[in-house]
A and B are shown apart, each in its own frame.
Chain A
Amino acid sequence: MNSNAALELRNVTKHFGSVVANKNVDLTVRKGEILSILGENGSGKTTLMNMIAGIYYPDDGQIFIDGKEVVIRSPKDAYRYHIGMIHQHFKLVDIFSAAENIVLGLEEKGSFNLKKATERVREISAKYGFEIDPEKKIYQMSVSEKQTVEIIKVLYRGADILILDEPTAVLTPQETQKLFSVLRKMRDDGKAIIIITHKLHEVLALSDRVTVLRKGEYIDTVITAETNEAQLTEMMVGKKITLDIDRSEPKNPQDRLFVKDICCVSRDGVKLLDNVSFTARSGEILGIAGIAGSGQRELLEAIAGLQHLSSGEITYIDPESGSEEDLRDKTPLQIRDMGVRLSFVPEDRLGMGLVGNMDIIENMMLRSYQKGKSMFLERKKPKTLAESIINQLEVVTPNATTPVRRLSGGNVQKVLVGREIASAPTVLMAAYPVRGLDINSSYTIYNLLNQQKENGVAVIFVGEDLDVLLELCDRILVLGGGKVTGIEDARTTTKEAIGLLMTKTDGGDET
């Protein structure tokens, strides 16, 4: 055992129902180092960290702090061992001020004095260079301000072990750089820092060592200086990725959907989409790249009639008649009634695309139940459809009357995509359709998208894996901070070029 180890895990295991989230994971983090936990979505990174932070309780395994075995039953225990975690979904009370959130849960001696706390918050901010108003309410803050509050909260408690769960997912590049310099400062202070991420360049830029998880299992730990992107990727995905996605040349592409200068503003007045324009063509896959939260969701929802636009136009061109239909601010129902065959595979499969507690047949009915004049539900056709999807896409399920919530992620997605394709769409939008899926299921989905493309459908594909985007798509549109930062030909562009466009948010006006 390393005497310098701040925290050590041995054989930690956690199940959720029948799903194994972590299996026999070992991990060591030393004082004065930054350790990256690298792994794909669903590799069990967050679950593992939650066990250190006392959110989940491990089914098996041991945890050592400073070489002594400990039991962490609750977040309170974690704080007592000077462990602080910054969750991806911030744990802040919206109607409290920053200072109130920071002192929350502390049992300091003496009377409750928010003023004194505010002073200390200012001290910490000055030490690490944060800019924060301790009296500002959380619901009035930007994402990066909220993250700052979370970090101060952990520091205020004197944490020696800091865990950050995907801290950069919501930050601009400038904010990310600032965060990294803060983290380095803390490392030099002798703190042990664990950072979860799946962005390789961040791992290489920031960390001292990297621990890789895959499908809930511990793979290996390497020293950052002695590794490279290719090796890490291989450890992360198991084998070297040779995607080999078939890509045909678009046949007779025709303009199908015009999006012109659309803008969309959130309830708090933040611009989510800023003058986005593009054209989607039939027989072509248009990829959309961008860091999470750059407006991908809003863009697709705007086209699907689920998002109100403040300005701009969305026009659909009918493949048969060639007539133009205005889709802006129409409801999904109106869009369908106009004869526009638009299919949408949303990011949130069980929260939007499907109803988890309903069975496969009933989920088929979501799209078809309104058809026909009868007051009563037509069950026969949905049943046939459900069965054909189960057969053709090899959905693993006991039967068609199993609630989809009980299917595995890949099978859920097959059901959803299968249903959306079944209506013979002319436009098919898919948001992160392979997120959390294993390799085989992912390929099934790629093939389905390619088939649709060959059938002359205009496919819009929002992805996060650049390799996939480059091999699957015909063109790639890059979103940065709600703006289109570039549209590239996927056959000629490079990963670096796309990556560069992703981080280009016309910066400067943020700070």
Chain B
Amino acid sequence: MLASIALFLQRAVVQGIPLLFGSTGEIITEKSGNLNLGIPGIMYVGGISGVIGAFFYERSTATPNAFLSILIPFLAALAGSALMALIYSFLTITLRANQNVTGLALTIFGEGIGNFFGGSLANLFGEGGSIAMTATSNLFRKALPFAEKLGNIGTVFFSYGFLAYLAILIALLTAWYFNHTRSGLHLRAVGESPATADAAGINVTKYKYMATCIGGAIAGLGGLYYIMDYTNGVWTNGGFGDRGWLAIALVIFALWKPNIGILGSILFGGLYVIYLFIPGLDRSSQELFKMLPYVVTILVLVLTSIRKKREYQPPESLGLSYFREER
């Protein structure tokens, strides 16, 4: 029984980590007033960039260096997803395009890139079959050495690849950044009231660009984790599914607070896999369980809007573009 609970928690965390990356990235983005609905696409690109990085490194050398095997896909994922976020930033911040439309277009584009290269990489370079980055994946999945010795505790706390710990660390750092640094204060001001921030001498454009691109890069790591850790380096088209949207749901659930996001991601992950651990559930009830994260998010959205507590609201200028000489 205990072992089963430990295993459940472990699966919940594994499911939750991509969401945590995605939601932390989206929170940073939204704090600057940008509602980036392109996050699902960005996460696809993060994943495939990692795969492409690994693919070329694995092909280029017979004796891969463990450090480079991790570093190259990692940097590739960061670069790929930041580039995607840069497209969004240019369109919405510089060209002041509608954020919803731009975000949705970015998602279409990103999923296209992910699935296209995922499906064609092998074809394009003359090898048939699907791509499996097993060697690289094994490095990403390396758990802490003492995890197995600690039994259930080891399973729950120490059995993950390094990206999982990184996700939690980033979320905690982000929460700290928002509340305890000058730059965090400035970023929040930009999202709440860009005109105020501007009048206070804050470079609104710079903050929006930085937040969106860094947020995008962090979200992209979610895609990388999914592919390198969760699926053992095997890319399946569309396999990432709706996790990107779930990450956006998590932002609302977490009330735009990354530290709540950590617990939320594990909860969402748990709801995603709980059907496997409740005995006697048929497949149809599984589908209903998968609905829960969304339903819970809707409830949070409705309750916070009815209660109207100022601290729980989305950033005031979320979704609006800023033009200084507007009048």
Instruction: Enumerate chain A interface residues (CB-CB to B < 8 A).
Output: 16, 53, 55-57, 74-76, 78-79, 85, 87, 91-96, 100, 103-108, 112, 137, 139, 153
Contacts of A95 in B (CB 8 A): 192, 310-311, 313, 316
From B180, B189, B202, B325, give the contact of A56 (CB < 8 A).
Answer: B325
Indicate if B95 sits at the interface (CB-CB under 8 A). Answer: no
Contact indicator per residue, chain B 174-205, by CB within 8 Å of chain A (1) or not (0): 00000011100110110011011111111100
Contact indicator per residue, chain B 6-39, by CB within 8 Å of chain A (1) or not (0): 0000000000000000000000000000000000
The answer to whether A74 touches B198 (Cβ under 8 A) is: yes
Q: Can you list 25 A-B pairs with a CB-CB distance of less than 8 A?
A: A55-B199, A55-B324, A55-B325, A56-B324, A56-B325, A57-B325, A74-B201, A75-B198, A75-B200, A75-B201, A76-B203, A79-B201, A87-B199, A91-B193, A91-B196, A91-B199, A92-B193, A93-B197, A94-B193, A94-B316, A96-B189, A103-B185, A104-B185, A112-B180, A112-B185
The chain B residue with its CB closest to the CB of A21 is B327
Contacts of A137 in B (CB 8 A): 310
Contacts of B325 in A (CB 8 A): 55-57
The answer to whether B201 touches A103 (Cβ under 8 A) is: no
Within the assembled complex, what's the spacing in Å between the Cα atoms of A55 and B327? 11
Within the assembled complex, what's the spacing in Å between the Cα atoms of A16 and B186? 30
Known pairs A57-B325, A75-B198; list 17 more (Cβ under 8 Å): A74-B201, A75-B200, A75-B201, A78-B201, A87-B199, A91-B193, A92-B193, A93-B193, A94-B316, A95-B310, A96-B189, A103-B182, A104-B185, A104-B186, A104-B196, A107-B182, A112-B181
The chain A residue with its CB closest to the CB of B196 is A91
The chain B residue with its CB closest to the CB of A14 is B325
Contacts of A139 in B (CB 8 A): 310
The answer to whether B192 touches A96 (Cβ under 8 A) is: yes
Interface residues contributed by chain B, number (CB under 8 Å): 25
Contacts of B310 in A (CB 8 A): 94-95, 137, 139
Within 8 A of A (CB), among B92-146: none
Contacts of B189 in A (CB 8 A): 93, 96, 104-105
Within the assembled complex, what's the spacing in Å between the Cα atoms of A15 and B226? 54
A105 and B192 in contact, given A16-B327, A95-B311, A139-B310 (Cβ under 8 angstroms): no
In the assembled complex, the CB of B255 is this many whole angstroms from the nearest CB of chain A, namely: 13
Within the assembled complex, what's the spacing in Å between the Cα atoms of A235 and B109? 62
Contacts of B202 in A (CB 8 A): 76, 104-105
Within 8 A of A (CB), among B304-325: 310-311, 313, 316, 324-325
A106 and B182 in contact, given A93-B192, A95-B310 (Cβ under 8 angstroms): yes
Contacts of B192 in A (CB 8 A): 93-96
The binding surface of chain B is classed by DSSP as helix
Within the assembled complex, what's the spacing in Å between the Cα atoms of A35 and B63? 77
A91 and B195 in contact, given A79-B201, A105-B200 (Cβ under 8 angstroms): yes
Contacts of B182 in A (CB 8 A): 103, 106-108, 112
In the assembled complex, the CB of B296 is this many whole angstroms from the nearest CB of chain A, namely: 25
A53 and B199 in contact, given A91-B193, A104-B185, A112-B181 (Cβ under 8 angstroms): yes
Contacts of B203 in A (CB 8 A): 74, 76
Contacts of A107 in B (CB 8 A): 182
Contacts of B324 in A (CB 8 A): 55-56
In the assembled complex, the CB of A166 is this many whole angstroms from the nearest CB of chain B, namely: 16
The chain A residue with its CB closest to the CB of B327 is A16
Within the assembled complex, what's the spacing in Å between the Cα atoms of A445 and B192? 41
Within the assembled complex, what's the spacing in Å between the Cα atoms of A78 and B185? 21
Within the assembled complex, what's the spacing in Å between the Cα atoms of A465 and B249? 53
Within the assembled complex, what's the spacing in Å between the Cα atoms of A56 and B185? 25
The answer to whether A93 touches B196 (Cβ under 8 A) is: yes
Contacts of B198 in A (CB 8 A): 55, 74-75
The answer to whether A76 touches B201 (Cβ under 8 A) is: yes
In the assembled complex, the CB of B180 is this many whole angstroms from the nearest CB of chain A, namely: 7
Within 8 A of A (CB), among B36-73: none
From A56, A57, A104, A108, give the contact of B200 (CB < 8 A).
Answer: A104
Within the assembled complex, what's the spacing in Å between the Cα atoms of A144 and B149? 65
Within the assembled complex, what's the spacing in Å between the Cα atoms of A55 and B323? 11
The chain B residue with its CB closest to the CB of A105 is B200
The chain B residue with its CB closest to the CB of A57 is B325
In the assembled complex, the CB of B305 is this many whole angstroms from the nearest CB of chain A, namely: 15
Within the assembled complex, what's the spacing in Å between the Cα atoms of A510 and B313? 31
In the assembled complex, the CB of A500 is this many whole angstroms from the nearest CB of chain B, namely: 36
Within the assembled complex, what's the spacing in Å between the Cα atoms of A176 and B111? 60
Contacts of A56 in B (CB 8 A): 324-325
Contacts of B327 in A (CB 8 A): 16
Contacts of A92 in B (CB 8 A): 193, 196
